[in-house]
């Protein structure tokens, strides 16, 4: 993509052209070096039009009801006059080559709305790459005029941490009947939550959902608050019936307003931007390192030597880094 094409793409995204937005997201998802360069130029042109959205992360284990909830939330958010973009981060799809299909059908209603944009995560790639593409896709959506951006992630290991690092408000979904182990939520993940939502508070599951909420409230009360003057609420929803969803949205707004009013949102985003810069530098350096012939020539032998215990990893790393430094020195 040359300069004028990038300029044209930027104009189309700014005009809210959904197909242009979809193409731009495809561009930032590509790992081809020329695409990476074009994507960076495109984002650079759009930066001024970004940042005005409410960025919401929604996480929880598979089957907890994330997609169903987001569909209900989306309806609420659209009714309030917003435009909503939903991006999915699913590191498991990298391994299974799919798993997002179910989500697509479940967000059927939302995906037909003209003021909604749904984008499942691309399969393939490691978490770092998926998170980077999601950050960029989020900025593109903002430039296209979406003022609510929801990032859905399957709660497996590190992905919650990555998502919590790119949104303003992080919502954790828990299911009833998780037993006495607090639905298996790890303490570290609970500490990230700005809001906890217990799903499936309906029918036979309602008592269990109330019980789970009580347990979660108790557990949260023992944690150090994430922000001064803000408590992490635990709310109940029944997504298919839409019960409790408006309350969740109101609470998301309230947390966001608080952060915004107190200057904490600016600090949060500044920190996120800085962390992103270092992610990019780390990823770019590793890439250039691997591609440097003086490194690439020795890498397989040294990896083997480290694997068999003949050379200490530290020594091998030193050796390779010295080769890299020598190679890049003018």
Ligand X SMILES: Nc1nc2c(ncn2[C@@H]2O[C@H](COP(=O)(O)OP(=O)(O)O)[C@@H](O)[C@H]2O)c(=O)[nH]1
Q: Write out the residues near ligand X by the rule CB under 6 A.
A: 60, 62-68, 102-103, 106, 199-200, 202-203, 237-240
- Pick one of 53, 54, 67, 93: the residue that binds Mg ion (CB under 5 A): 67
190 Cβ partners below 8 Å, 6+ apart? 172, 182, 196, 216, 219, 220, 223
Minimum CB distance to ligand X smaller for 139 or for 248: 248
> Rounded to the nearest whole angstrom, what is the least distance from the CB of residue 237 to ligand X in the complex?
6
Yes or no: say if 170 and 163 are a contact pair by the CB < 8 Å rule.
yes
Binding at 200: pick from ligand X, Mg ion, none (beta carbon under 5-8 Å per type)? ligand X
| Euclidean distance between CA atoms 239 and 73, whole angstroms | 8
> Rounded to the nearest whole angstrom, what is the least distance from the CB of residue 140 to ligand X in the complex?
23
Q: Interface residues for Mg ion in 95-124 (CB under 5 A)? A: 103
Alpha-carbon distances, residue 161 vs 53, 122, 189 (angstroms): 21, 19, 8
> Rounded to the nearest whole angstrom, what is the least distance from the CB of residue 248 to ligand X in the complex?
12
> Rounded to the nearest whole angstrom, what is the least distance from the CB of residue 261 to ligand X in the complex?
32
Binding flag, residue 66, Mg ion (CB under 5 A): yes
Rounded to a whole number, what is the largest CA-CA distance in the chain?
71
Minimum CB distance to ligand X smaller for 243 or for 294: 243
Minimum CB distance to ligand X smaller for 202 or for 319: 202
- Report how many residues bind Mg ion under the rule CB under 5 A: 3
Yes or no: say if 121 and 88 are a contact pair by the CB < 8 Å rule.
yes
Binding flag, residue 90, Mg ion (CB under 5 A): no
| Euclidean distance between CA atoms 322 and 330, whole angstroms | 14
- DSSP assignment string, 148-210: EEEEEEE-STTHHHHHHTT-SEEEEEE-TT-GGGGGG--HHHHTT-SEEEE---SGGGHHHHH
- Which region, judged by CB under 5 A, interacts with Mg ion, from 8-16, 67-75, 272-280, 281-289? 67-75
Please name the residue that has the structure tokens 């790393």: 317
Minimum CB distance to ligand X smaller for 122 or for 176: 176
Binding at 175: pick from ligand X, Mg ion, none (beta carbon under 5-8 Å per type)? none
> Rounded to the nearest whole angstrom, what is the least distance from the CB of residue 157 to ligand X in the complex?
16
Report which residue's Cβ sits closest to ligand X.
Answer: 65
Yes or no: say if 131 and 162 are a contact pair by the CB < 8 Å rule.
yes
Binding at 162: pick from ligand X, Mg ion, none (beta carbon under 5-8 Å per type)? none
Yes or no: say if 129 and 284 are a contact pair by the CB < 8 Å rule.
no
Minimum CB distance to Mg ion smaller for 153 or for 234: 153
Minimum CB distance to ligand X smaller for 39 or for 72: 72
Query: Quick one: how far is CA 273 from the chain centroid?
Result: 14
Minimum CB distance to Mg ion smaller for 42 or for 89: 89
| Euclidean distance between CA atoms 110 and 117, whole angstroms | 8
Binding at 240: pick from ligand X, Mg ion, none (beta carbon under 5-8 Å per type)? ligand X
Binding at 68: pick from ligand X, Mg ion, none (beta carbon under 5-8 Å per type)? ligand X
| Euclidean distance between CA atoms 319 and 290, whole angstroms | 14
CA neighbor of 153 nearest in space, from 199, 110, 90, 213: 90
List of residues contacting Mg ion (CB under 5 A): 66-67, 103
């Amino acid at each position: 993509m040359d300069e004028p094409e990038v300029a044209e793409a930027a104009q189309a995204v700014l005009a809210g052209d959904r197909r242009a937005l979809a193409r731009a997201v495809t561009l930032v998802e590509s790992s081809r070096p020329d695409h990476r360069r074009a994507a960076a130029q495109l984002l650079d042109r759009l930066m001024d039009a970004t940042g005005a959205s409410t960025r919401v992360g929604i996480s929880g284990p598979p089957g907890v009801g994330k997609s169903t909830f987001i569909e209900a939330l989306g309806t609420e958010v659209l009714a309030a006059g917003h435009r909503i973009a939903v991006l999915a981060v699913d590191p498991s799809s990298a391994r299974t080559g799919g798993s997002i299909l179910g989500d697509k059908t479940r967000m059927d209603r939302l995906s037909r709305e003209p003021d909604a944009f749904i984008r499942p995560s691309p399969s393939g790639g490691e978490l770092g790459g998926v998170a980077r593409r999601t950050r960029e896709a989020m900025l593109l959506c903002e430039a296209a005029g979406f003022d609510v951006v929801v990032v859905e992630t399957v709660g497996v290991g590190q992905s919650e941490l990555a998502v919590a690092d790119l949104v303003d408000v992080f919502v954790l979904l828990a299911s009833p009947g998780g037993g006495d182990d607090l639905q298996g939520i790890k303490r570290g993940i609970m500490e990230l939550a700005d809001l906890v939502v217990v799903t499936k508070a309906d029918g036979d599951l309602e008592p269990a959902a109330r019980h789970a909420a009580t347990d979660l409230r108790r557990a949260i009360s023992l944690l150090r608050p994430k922000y001064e003057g803000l408590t992490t609420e635990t709310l109940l929803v029944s997504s298919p019936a839409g019960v409790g969803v408006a309350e969740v949205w109101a609470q998301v707004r309230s947390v966001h307003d608080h952060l915004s009013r107190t200057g904490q949102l600016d600090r949060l985003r500044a920190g996120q931007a800085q962390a992103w810069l270092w992610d990019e530098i780390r990823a770019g350096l590793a890439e250039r390192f691997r591609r440097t012939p003086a490194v690439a020539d020795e890498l397989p032998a040294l990896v083997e030597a480290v694997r068999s215990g003949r050379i200490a990893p530290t020594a091998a790393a030193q050796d390779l880094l010295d080769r890299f430094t020598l190679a890049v020195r003018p």
